[in-house]
Amino acid sequence: MDASLLPALEDVLLVARSGSVAEAARRLHKTPSAISQQVRRVEEHFGVALFERDGRGVRLSPAGEAALGAITRLFDEAEGVFELLSSLAGEPSATLRLAASDYLGKGLLVPVIRQMLAQRAPVRFAITTANSLDAARWVERGEVDFGLASASSAGGDLVKQPLFVQPFLWVGPRQKGKAPPLRERLRHEPLLRLAPGSLGRRMLDVYLDRERIRPVSTIDVSSVSLLVSYVSGGLGIGLAPALALTEVARSRLAVEVAEVEPLPVELMMRENFRRNPVIERFIERLAEEGRRAEQRTRALVGG
């Protein structure tokens, strides 16, 4: 094995995860030309093209897709070696890489992380915001260790632990007097939508098609939190997961249960992911927080 290629393989891995040489360079504090040189070094050494041009970015070639899992496992094992050495030195630690949408991060992860940090648990957290579909995909590809996602997301080969079942709600600006239901207001007021490709957007599009509703105006937003912020500011009606509304001031909001199926929220991980006592503690506390979240969402729907 040519160990001198390991830094170059790390650059290859980050380019694959980010889809951009420039973004990989930014994260690694290198120049784009240095990253490109490392990628070419690996490709020339093995005589195989790992990437193809894709607009302004790059994407994995078929050979790159085939190699990605092995490269990911290589660095997973390397991280395990560092954790083992830290443990032997009397300073055990673990790094948890997580992907979750903004509202799941706030509603589930933040309380757990606060507890673990307050108790000085030997753990570091690296959290990336992503919708449910991307979170499941990133876990499959080894870009993160855990994903918080709705159950209808991808990730058929992943280990999944149910956390709670979540209903979805229509949310819009509260009107004075006796206002019509939000379902009726959908035909006359701006509609807030999540970005294409997200699970929430798919559910909304299916509902609109089924009810034959054509919005008079649409506003695309990048996150559930931004959607709720627009509504709180008096603009637009949107479809939102119940957890996103449990800690929001309701004085300016009208909320109704939506005619879509509730979805379980799950913690996803790869089958061969290493689990140590710190990680087991994290999973247990996240399960406890999931039970609390279910109680809060039930109270919201019942109210």
Greatest C-alpha distance within the chain:
74
Q: What is the pLDDT of residue 38?
A: 93
pLDDT tens digits, one per residue of 11-31: 999 899 888 898 888 878 889
Residue 82 lies in a domain: no
Q: Are residues 64 and 203 in the same domain?
A: no
Residues of the chain with pLDDT under 50: none
Structural domain boundaries enclosing 226: 168-261
pLDDT tens digits, one per residue of 132-142: 888 888 888 77
Contact at 8 Å (CB) between 131 and 201?
no
pLDDT tens digits, one per residue of 38-81: 999 999 999 999 999 888 788 999 999 899 888 888 877 777 67
CATH code at position 61: 1.10.10.10
Q: What span, in angstroms and rounded, lies between the C-alpha atoms of 119 and 204?
A: 41
Residue 13 lies in a domain: yes
Q: Are strands 57-60 and 51-54 parallel, antiparallel or unpaired?
A: antiparallel
Structure tokens at 285: 């506390």
Specify the number of domains making up the chain.
3
Q: Are residues 244 and 272 in the same domain?
A: no
By the 10 Å C-beta count (0-12 exposed, 13-18 middle, 19+ buried), 193 is classed as: buried
Contact at 8 Å (CB) between 102 and 194?
no
Q: Are residues 182 and 250 in the same domain?
A: yes
Q: Are residues 290 and 155 in the same domain?
A: yes
CATH code at position 100: 3.40.190.10
Q: What is the pLDDT of residue 154?
A: 59
Q: What is the pLDDT of residue 156?
A: 63
Q: Are residues 7 and 146 in the same domain?
A: no
Q: What is the pLDDT of residue 136?
A: 86
Residue 54 lies in a domain: yes
Q: Are residues 175 and 298 in the same domain?
A: no
CA distances from 204 to 126, 201, 215, 284 (A): 31, 5, 12, 33
Q: Are residues 246 and 181 in the same domain?
A: yes
Q: Are residues 101 and 28 in the same domain?
A: no
Q: What is the pLDDT of residue 96?
A: 83
Q: What share of the chain is helix, strand, coil (3-state, %, to 5)?
A: 50, 20, 30
Q: What is the pLDDT of residue 199?
A: 86
